[in-house]
Structure 1
Amino acid sequence: MPPQNDLCDCRVIHRDLVEAARTEALALAVLEDLSQTFKALGDVSRLKILWALEQREMCVCDLAALLGISESAVSHQLRLLRTMRLVRNRRDGTILYYRLDDDHVAALIRLALEHVAEG
């Protein structure tokens, strides 16, 4: 099979399409936030943590035992995920439990899994 060319065979600018896309474009700040969210999802350890938290809330010690990494490494990843509003925590006595921030995070993970499975 010959290599696929990603260019048009002719040079035509569809001004109406370009203008419509320009008016519907997302604000730069929104795009930057979205980019940071996907960047946070671009790490295998963070994805393992998110998948575990999609199933149930867990503390740092539980996540460290599950993933086979240090508690400080888990804590560091959770801090990043919390900053990105992908996880939240709650204190129960001396234990700090983590869970996904909301249903959007779970949906994002599940949609990405569906996309990969269809690959």
Structure 2
Amino acid sequence: MKVLKEKPTSNDDICEVTCTNPDIINQLQIIIQEDEILGMVDIFKALADPTRMKIAFMLDRAHELCVCDVAAVLGSSMATTSHHLRTLKTMNIASSRKEGKNVIYSLKDDHIRTLIQMTLEHQREKIDDEHK
């Protein structure tokens, strides 16, 4: 049986009393770098597309895949698949190398792999919590 959680009222999301901590505010204002934040947003934007997330997930699991294999798993055209892979490469999420007449893709580095794995773990925990 699925238990529905009550939706919070609008007052549950707002402080009833304004009290700020100037030390924390100043520290955060110093360490937040706009260009870093925008770069992180770009990574999440690239992975926000379901097809590109599937590709990243496949690359995480298989480590390396030819464009042909990715297209076959997705059931999509080589052109569409190449477009998505190129986007992931442009966003520094994937890298590619030529092997004979084929192009082989992989995830750019372990940071991306960790991001995908942690996101999946979070999603699975969320699903488990919903079934309790």
TM-score under structure 2 length normalisation:
0.83
Instruction: Give a deviation string over 1:30-60, Cα, whole Å, max 9, x none.
Output: 1111100000010110011111111221111
* In structure 2, C-alpha distance between the alignment counterparts of 1:107 and 1:61, rounded to whole Å: 25
Moved more, 95-104 or 73-82: 95-104
* In structure 1, C-alpha distance between the alignment counterparts of 2:7 and 2:76, rounded to whole Å: 46
**What's 2:42 paired with?**
36
* In structure 1, C-alpha distance between the alignment counterparts of 2:7 and 2:51, rounded to whole Å: 38
Alignment of 1:1-119 (within 5 A): 1=6, 3-4=8-9, 5-25=12-32, 27-56=33-62, 57-119=64-126
How far off its partner does 1:75 sit?
0.3
Partner of 2:105, secondary structure, is: strand
1:106–1:12 Cα change, 3 Å: same
1:2–1:52 Cα change, 3 Å: closer
Q: CA RMSD in A?
A: 1.4
4+ residue runs of structure 1 moved beyond 3 angstroms? none
* In structure 2, C-alpha distance between the alignment counterparts of 1:74 and 1:50, rounded to whole Å: 12
Which sections of structure 2, spanning at least 5 residues, go unmatched? 1-5, 127-132
Letter of the aligned partner of 2:18 in structure 1?
Answer: R
How far off its partner does 1:2 sit?
7.1
Letter of the aligned partner of 1:115 in structure 2?
Answer: H
Give the fraction of aligned pairs with identical amino acids, expressed as a percent.
36
Letter of the aligned partner of 1:39 in structure 2?
Answer: K
TM-score under structure 1 length normalisation:
0.91
Partner of 2:13, secondary structure, is: coil
Q: How many residues align?
A: 118
